[in-house]
Amino acid sequence: MSSIHTVTDSQRVSAAPLAPPRHTARAGPITWVLLAALVLRLVFSVGLYSTVQQAGGLSRGSDGYEHVAESLAAGHGYRFAADTCPTMFLPPLYPLFLAGLFLLTDQHMVAAQVAQSLLDTGTCLLIYLLARPRFGAGKALWAAIAYALYPGAMVSCSRYLTEPLFVFLTALFALLCGRYVERGGWRDLLLLGLPCAGLALCKNVGAALPAFLLLSAAVPGLWPRGRGRVATAALVSGLCVAAAMTPWIYRNYRVSGSFVPTASAGGLAIYTAMTYAAHPDQDIRTSAHQAAREVRELGERAGIRMDPRDKYPRWFYDTRDEVKLDKLAQFEAWKRIAADRAGFARHVVGNLWRFWFGAPTPKSVYASVLVHGPLLLLAALGLWRLPWRRHGAISVWIVIAMYLFASHVAILAVVRYAVTVMPLVCLLAAAMLHEQIHAPTARGATVQRGA
């Protein structure tokens, strides 16, 4: 018995050959995330930060980077003001970055806010590029969104602070170094030294990162494969850091007659940490002001001339006095720490809290808890449950974050420094949240297919 098929018009249309698809350029989801990140940072830093600062007690100060940058742009050299001596108080990369911006426009603050917003948007992109081939496009997109919405990054973009530049270089180094550890390749090996050298010239803490990375190669279980590449990457990074810092060290010796490898701010930092330890119930802003006042008095007793325009002891008329006060502050701080080791140990334990939540006012502490608390919880779950050990790039970034965390906790920790590790925290937290939300759906689909 034969069957008769009636061909309808709709079937004829469907059977007709399809026209070749048109390739239209459409923005993908990550493009919209990056655009939103940039807009949020610009709106907050240029338009809203002053209002938020007044309501929440956030600081508007800096470490003096803009003064050195203005001096450089005016042709006076690397010093805080035209009538002060050359300084070594600040590492050179960020003031040079600002000086380049100041040469372009007279709107110094706005120029810095725009440039830093662009840099931090670039960090969002690097998070996505690092996470996508390791965790998938969905988790990578969520990680970029998490950092795009992170308030601490917006605050950093609003001020003269090294963090936006430092965080961008950290993410770039993690990406390049991680790719080399995973698959080798001379290009990544040669390039990874550049951001690492930038880190060393941006913050004092960056100088010892290659050594810590080299030590991590000996940790069992951290590198299931690629341990030799980790050691190679650390050695190449160390050579690049040494090459980049050599002109800075030579310059410091010429102006001071002393060997100053990074900067002369260590004495004030250690003295401030000692002041925190001696006054644990005092808020961190008051302790910082007290430390600066006492270090200035220490210098005056030693006959050191300091510029009265700066309340912190950073502006000098002789670079040798800058080195002398740095050594005096370090000696006095370590002497007091040795006299009260238990108190300083309690201070270090307290830094475990201050690194994440140590803000200057109760309102800002509450905001830090509200923002960082859930992210830290999800990131900790991610460290436990996500397969990050399979991916060298994630392991590299974890090692960097551990180093930065330990360096600050050991001496001086405030919530501002947490920004340096928050891209990784956002990545792990967002990937874990994505896993939790989509895992039930995936399990249900598996059961349905099995049925």
Closest CA to 184 of 224, 221, 220, 230: 230
d(CA 439, CA 175): 27
pTM: 0.89
The confidence score (pLDDT) of residue 280 equals 85
For 235, other C-beta atoms within 10 Å of its C-beta total 14
d(CA 391, CA 279): 44
Distances from the Cα of 55 to the Cαs of 51, 340, 352, in angstroms?
A: 6, 38, 27
In this structure, are residues 102 and 70 in contact, taking their beta carbons and an 8 Å threshold? yes
d(CA 415, CA 354): 6
Q: What is the DSSP letter of 415?
A: G
pLDDT in tens, the chain (451 residues): 444 444 443 344 344 444 444 544 455 899 999 999 999 999 999 988 888 777 766 666 678 999 999 999 999 999 999 999 999 999 999 999 999 999 999 989 999 999 999 999 999 999 999 999 999 999 999 999 999 999 999 999 999 999 999 999 999 999 999 999 998 889 999 999 999 999 999 999 999 999 999 999 988 778 877 889 999 999 999 999 999 999 999 999 999 999 998 898 889 999 999 998 988 888 888 888 999 999 999 999 999 999 988 888 899 999 999 999 999 999 999 999 999 999 999 999 999 999 999 888 888 899 999 999 999 999 999 999 988 888 888 999 999 999 999 999 999 899 999 999 999 999 999 999 999 998 765 545 443 444 4
For 55, other C-beta atoms within 10 Å of its C-beta total 9
N- to C-terminal Cα separation, the chain: 36
The confidence score (pLDDT) of residue 57 equals 61
Sign of CA dihedral 229, 232, 238, 241: negative
d(CA 410, CA 264): 19
Assign residue 402 a region: left if phi > 0, alpha if psi is -120 to 50, beta otherwise?
A: alpha
Closest CA to 354 of 279, 419, 412, 429: 412
Phi, psi angles (nearest 5°) of residue 306: -125, 150
In this structure, are residues 241 and 261 in contact, taking their beta carbons and an 8 Å threshold? no
d(CA 335, CA 379): 39
d(CA 225, CA 159): 41
